[in-house]
Structure 1
Amino acid sequence: MPSPSSVHEQLTDILVRVVGCPADAVVPGASLKELGTDSLTIVELADELGRRFDVYLSDDSVDSLVTVQDAIDAVVHHDGATTPARSGRVPTTLESPAPPVRDWEHVQRRRVAERMIFWFVVAGVLVGAGLGFGGSALIKATGISSVDLPPISNPTTAPSTAPTTTPEPEPTQTSTTEPNVPEPTIEASKPQVAPGERFVLEGIFPAAGEGAELQVQVKDEGSDWDDFPIETTTRKGGRFKTELYTSRTGERQFRLLNKQTDKATPAVTVEIG
């Protein structure tokens, strides 16, 4: 049976990836719910623990998971339950890495920024209302209430000659050429990996620049491109780098799609298994 420390280490890795909690918050007495899990993520957490330690956690064991220590004990003191027979297995999202977990400090900074934007909007509304009331009071104080303009009268005599029209010159079409922008590139750190083994996709998206959101996509033989449950953001110069793994075997193609422009990198093939 695995040691409690090894189970704790793997459980911390899973929780950080799935719910985005800080690693130092995953202590034995911590409540799984307070760390950000719900009924669905607890099931996925149990499946991933079982996969990593080659055990099957029964439904009763999963229902009893309340704290981090409960999850550790469920693996260390496994009740001997075996995987039930299934006619077809549907892979869970934990077979692939969960969408990238944003750094905890980054999440906190984003929340502070959102609050600041909200208060800026409120302040703008209040300032606008104050200027509106002030302008109305100023108009009343100067005694200006309305301005009478003389009526526009029709001409009394018709023009002696009909107006002549001059043809407008047709606009000339100017050809514009887009600057030559290098095409995006992508490469995998390994051409072949074992099921569940991590590998890295990295490359450059020159036209995207810094801060563009990229969606990892996967394509299996005989199927169309589908979103892989992971995203990443370009860095300076349009560079990107993301780590992933999958348990589905076979030859799989991967690419990254720019969500703003719908432009994708070339495909790279990785053999799983």
Structure 2
Amino acid sequence: MPSPSSVHEHLKDILVRVVGCPADAVVPDASLKELGTDSLTIVELADELGRRFDLYLSDDTVDSLVTVQDAIDAVVNHDGATAPARSGRVPTALESPAPPVRDDEDVRRRRLLERLLVSFVLVGAAVGAILGFGGSALIDATGLGSVNLAPINNPTTAPSTTPTTTPAPTPTQTTEPDSDEPKPTIKVSKPQVAPGERFVIEGRFPELGEGAELQVQVKDEGSDWDDFPIETTTKSGGRFKTELYTSRTGDRQFRLLNKKTDKSTPAVTVQIG
């Protein structure tokens, strides 16, 4: 069983790498959320702890992680949970089989998608109820719901008409988009890595500036782009840099997407394995 001090040191290293918080801020009573984690990075934190100490943290355990001490206790006092068994699907010729030791990425991604779907449904229902109630109250307050329009009567005599001259429309000037606007750039530190080995993706998104959220996406041969469980935020000048790893082998493409503008960087390819 690992010691609390050993788990603390590893946890400090993981948080500094994943969320970029100061190392001296990772004290036992510190809140993981205040250190910069969210639902995605909490899952990544649990995955990395499990990889380093050769154990599996269950969904209930991950959901209960609030402070640094909670994460330390989850490893030191591990409840013996094991990872779910893999499905019996045979990989196609376009897919490379995932390593038999862990299926963390698929399990965590499916769990996150289920949580996000439930959240969207609940939020959508609440917003719809609020808008429906507010619209009904507005109609009642303004009296629009009880307005009676006067009947339309046919005129007995045709009104006299005076020809009018319609002024010619003033031509408007259009501004062509600036074709010289800097394009997003991206590069990878290692074009080939072993399964589970870390590599760095960095570049610039000039039009976004500082503080924009970027979603890392991944694409395998024969599939569409999918969200990878890593997000990052642009720095000054639209610069970004993030570190990630994956256990799925084969040639995998990565890019960063700004979901607010639906614009993305070019793709880079990393050979895993």
TM-score for the superposition, normalised by structure 1: 0.55
Structure 1 82/165 Cα, relative in aligned 2: closer, same or farther at 3 Å?
closer
Partner of 2:207: 207
CA drift of 1:45 comes to: 6.0
Residue 73 (1) aligns with residue 72 (2): no
Partner of 1:194: 194
CA drift of 1:225 comes to: 0.7
* Percent sequence identity over aligned pairs: 67
Give the counterpart letter for 1:258 in structure 2. N
Shifted more, 233-242 versus 220-229: the winner is 233-242
The answer as to whether partners of 1:48 and 1:94 remain within 8 angstroms in 2 is: no
Partner of 2:135: none
Task: Quote the Cα distance in structure 2 between the aligned partners of 1:178 and 1:58.
Answer: 51
Structure 1 244/93 Cα, relative in aligned 2: closer, same or farther at 3 Å?
farther
Partner of 1:87: 86
Partner of 1:239: 239
CA drift of 1:54 comes to: 3.1
The answer as to whether partners of 2:206 and 2:238 remain within 8 angstroms in 1 is: yes
Structure 1 256/164 Cα, relative in aligned 2: closer, same or farther at 3 Å?
same
Give the counterpart letter for 1:172 in structure 2. P
Residue 217 (1) aligns with residue 231 (2): no
Structure 1 198/25 Cα, relative in aligned 2: closer, same or farther at 3 Å?
same
The answer as to whether partners of 1:32 and 1:67 remain within 8 angstroms in 2 is: no
Partner of 1:227: 227
Highest Rg: 1 or 2?
Answer: 1
Partner of 1:167: 166
Task: Quote the Cα distance in structure 2 between the aligned partners of 1:45 and 1:212.
Answer: 23
Task: Quote the Cα distance in structure 1 between the aligned partners of 2:249 and 2:42.
Answer: 25
CA drift of 1:253 comes to: 0.7
Give the counterpart letter for 2:105 in structure 1. P
Point out where structure 2 has 5 or more consecutive residues left out of the alignment: 88-102, 113-159
Structure 1 267/165 Cα, relative in aligned 2: closer, same or farther at 3 Å?
same
TM-score for the superposition, normalised by structure 2: 0.55
Task: Quote the Cα distance in structure 2 between the aligned partners of 1:43 and 1:207.
Answer: 31
Q: Deviations over 1:208-244 (max 9, x none)?
A: 2333222211111111111122222222322222222
The answer as to whether partners of 2:47 and 2:104 remain within 8 angstroms in 1 is: no
SS where residue 7 of structure 2 aligns? Answer: helix
Partner of 1:176: 175
The answer as to whether partners of 2:188 and 2:200 remain within 8 angstroms in 1 is: yes
CA drift of 1:255 comes to: 0.7
Task: Quote the Cα distance in structure 2 between the aligned partners of 1:224 and 1:52.
Answer: 31
CA drift of 1:92 comes to: 5.5
The answer as to whether partners of 1:21 and 1:35 remain within 8 angstroms in 2 is: no
The aligned length equals 203
Point out where structure 1 has 5 or more consecutive residues left out of the alignment: 99-160
SS where residue 10 of structure 2 aligns? Answer: helix
Partner of 1:249: 249
Over the aligned positions, Cα root-mean-square deviation in angstroms equals 4.7
Q: Deviations over 1:239-268 (max 9, x none)?
A: 222222222222111111122221111111
Structure 1 239/69 Cα, relative in aligned 2: closer, same or farther at 3 Å?
closer
Structure 1 168/94 Cα, relative in aligned 2: closer, same or farther at 3 Å?
same
Give the counterpart letter for 2:202 in structure 1. E
Partner of 2:270: 270
Q: Deviations over 1:29-61 (max 9, x none)?
A: x59999999xx99997665433213356799x9
Task: Quote the Cα distance in structure 1 between the aligned partners of 2:166 and 2:256.
Answer: 53
Give the counterpart letter for 2:268 in structure 1. V
Structure 1 208/231 Cα, relative in aligned 2: closer, same or farther at 3 Å?
same
Q: How do 1:15-26 and structure 2 match up within 5 A? A: 24=24
CA drift of 1:69 comes to: 5.6
Structure 1 252/14 Cα, relative in aligned 2: closer, same or farther at 3 Å?
same
Task: Quote the Cα distance in structure 2 between the aligned partners of 1:170 and 1:249.
Answer: 63
Partner of 2:133: none
Task: Quote the Cα distance in structure 1 between the aligned partners of 2:225 and 2:5.
Answer: 40
